[in-house]
Amino acid sequence: MAIYAYIRVSTKEQNIDRQVIALEPFQIPHKNVFCDHQSGKDFDRPAYQKLLRKLKPGDLLIVKSIDRLGRNYNDILVQWQYITKEIHADIKVLDMELLDTRAKNGDLTGTLISDLVLQILAYVAQKEREFIRSRQAEGIAAAKAKGVHLGRKPKKRPEQFETVRLQWVEGQISAREAGRRLGISHSTFCRWSRDYSKNNKQKLDDKVDKKIQT
């Protein structure tokens, strides 16, 4: 049986000393310690993938805390099942005593309890994400109801927009040239032009309606 350790920090600037110190009592050979300086949003990490290729049945993988494996509990569940059920290796999380799949008293209690704890953590994490999204949606709806503008403030059209647009309509310049003269992208110019035509058509229709009514 070989013992391995996995260490992860999100950036190269972050310090790994706390995780290294926590692993010292296990006297893990340096070649068996794998470290990624990468976000935990997924498991596409070079050191982690190399570690998976090294693990064999009966081996033990140690991590300081569950969030060092990853940030998404549903993804952690998939990896946990792969390591323990497919590779048949064990996992021990130092910061959470219940997350230790090694057999206790000759039975599978460790694996059973660990699986249950992880599923509960995944459920709680999912509910927390849903709660946050719900609160965000409620906040946005409340802000809109109060007339609060959300997002970036719309860019103000330059004073020369109508002049440049007329030159474009008459075929004197291209949309890209129009955008360059106004200091905007040609796609922004085209959007402004569409909005301008739509708004002015509405104004014209309103004037016609008023004349008909009088």
Q: Report how far residue 88's alpha carbon sits from residue 109's, in angstroms, rounded to the nearest whole number.
A: 15
Q: What is the pTM of this model?
A: 0.60
Out of 10, 174, 187, 197, which one is annotated catalytic? 10
Residue in the structure block whose two tokens are 């309509």: 169
What CATH number should be reported for the domain holding residue 39? 3.40.50.1390
52-109 pLDDT, tens digit each: 999 999 999 999 999 898 888 888 889 999 999 999 999 999 998 888 998 776 566 7
For residue 185, indicate whether it is catalytic. no
- As given in the structure block, the two tokens for residue 115 are 């699986």
Q: Are strands 60-63 and 3-9 parallel, antiparallel or unpaired?
A: parallel
Cα gap 195→201, rounded to integer Å: 10
* Contact present, 203 and 195 (Cβ < 8 Å): no
pLDDT at 86: 94
Tell me which residue of 126, 15, 122, 7 sits closest to 69, measured CA to CA. Answer: 7
Shared-domain flag, residues 60 and 107: yes
Q: Which pLDDT score is estimated for 213? A: 53
Pairing verdict, β 90-93 and 60-63:
parallel
Name the residue range of residue 165's domain: 161-213
Residue 55, in any domain of the structure? yes
